Copies of this chain bind each other. A is one copy, B any other.
């Protein structure tokens, strides 16, 4: 007799699209939600929008945050909200949506602090009830209900303290693999906890039944490689920062503010060539001071960090006075965002004057959305007019490629797979990988879309 055990997956956001990740998992009458993110390009397109002042329904209407109406009648069954890591496309909608559920947010300690700060900022604007935020270190188990237990497995991505959440249910484990890469040589912290993943895959989780379902990001599933380690980005930065013929000119490096591993490399090589390193930008300050405070980032000790516009202006004024060649500036604005520091520098709106021979190193890729591409073009066009020297693409991705996915499948051997976080082409590429393991569409690998629940017989 076939089992009648069922797990129900509600894809709320991030299916057939990038951003605003949110997935709910229902087991009997209990629900756990993974992630509540925003979709940044929607916000960008409607650029006159001020996120914090905007009404919930409007944000849903323009697709900036997940539309959770599919959970309307079941709000009270939700027992936990579990962000996998601290990027905005995973936590950004929490201030708008979390208070509608009567349950705590559970995530790794660094993520918890980011969520806390982010929720506080929102609270200043709107009167919402308090939501409990519970830090859960990776490697520990936390019972949620009599049936459900949560575990955050140590994972690598492009922000500190990332996890791959595992929900232990009576019908098998549900693994939320969104986002991740398998980095064997991270610059801060340790590689993913392969031993634990293999145990879970081998039926040594709480259920004793193995993995019932894997929700897997697909961003780079179409790339025929394994994503390079962050240590490769470090080698690239070393080559560029230490190898450039540049003793007399300015040097600006721009990267993702939340990528503390990357910033560690920038800082250390900057110091090795005898420059004082200054981090500039509000988000640079937020992510990295917190990282230092929590013990992830000793390298921050001798680094200046300025977040407010006035402090930034003053710091840049000092740089001009003391001599650009004495500093390495690490700034926001790698995507050419018009309001970010680098764009403002390029428009000569700050005390920093670009001149021929100055270096600008982009430790980033251009996210291939047309609005980004245009912003980036405008930025680099302006930089070129100042005859600065540019290094583009000094970067490796934080998202796993085909062979990362292959290895995860090898370790977990899930009964069902739901490709998520990617457009339909990325999801389709993922299916190609799954087919190598014998999975088949509509059978045990499920292409779904926002709002369409999938019931898995397990």
A: residues with CB less than 8 A from B are 45, 182, 184-185, 224-226, 228-229, 231-232, 234-236, 239-240, 242-245, 356, 369-371, 373-378, 380-382, 387, 389-394, 403, 406-407, 410, 424-425, 427-429, 431-432, 435-436, 440-443, 446-449, 452, 454
Contacts and interface: CB of A to CB of B under 8 A. Distances in A.
Contacts of A435: 449
Of all A-B residue pairs in the complex, the 8 with the closest CB atoms, nearest first, are: A374-B374, A424-B428, A235-B235, A370-B377, A184-B243, A370-B374, A229-B239, A371-B374
Contacts of A380: 224
A232 B232 contact: yes
Given A228-B236, A239-B184, A407-B245, A431 B442 contact: no
30 contacts: A185-B243, A224-B380, A225-B391, A225-B392, A225-B393, A225-B394, A226-B239, A228-B240, A231-B235, A232-B235, A232-B239, A245-B407, A245-B410, A370-B373, A373-B373, A374-B374, A387-B436, A391-B403, A424-B429, A424-B431, A427-B428, A428-B428, A440-B449, A440-B452, A441-B448, A442-B442, A442-B446, A442-B447, A442-B448, A442-B452
Contacts of A370: 370, 373-374, 376-378
A387 B436 CA distance: 7
Contact of A240 (B226, B235, B375): B226
Nearest to A63: B385
B381 A45 contact: yes
A392 B228 CA distance: 11
Contact of A442 (B371, B425, B427, B454): B454
Contacts of A185: 239, 243
Q: Which of A234, A428, A432, A440 has the most C-beta atoms of chain B within 10 angstroms of its own C-beta?
A: A428
A449 B435 CA distance: 10
Nearest to A454: B442
Contacts of A231: 235, 239
Contacts of A446: 442
A435 B17 CA distance: 14
Contacts of A243: 182, 184-185, 226, 229
Given A184-B243, A235-B232, A224 B371 contact: no
Contacts of A229: 239, 243
A65 to B, nearest CB: 16
Given A225-B394, A231-B235, 12 more contacts: A185-B239, A224-B391, A228-B236, A228-B240, A370-B376, A373-B373, A374-B375, A389-B406, A427-B428, A428-B428, A435-B449, A441-B452
Contacts of A356: 436
Contact of A441 (B232, B234, B373, B449): B449
B441 A447 contact: yes
Residue of A370, A382, A392, A447 ringed by the most chain B CB atoms within 10 A: A370
A185, A242, A389, A440: most-surrounded residue (chain B CB, <10 A): A389
Nearest to A375: B374
A446 to B, nearest CB: 6
A391 B235 contact: no
Contacts of A377: 369-371
A389 B370 CA distance: 21
Nearest to A222: B425
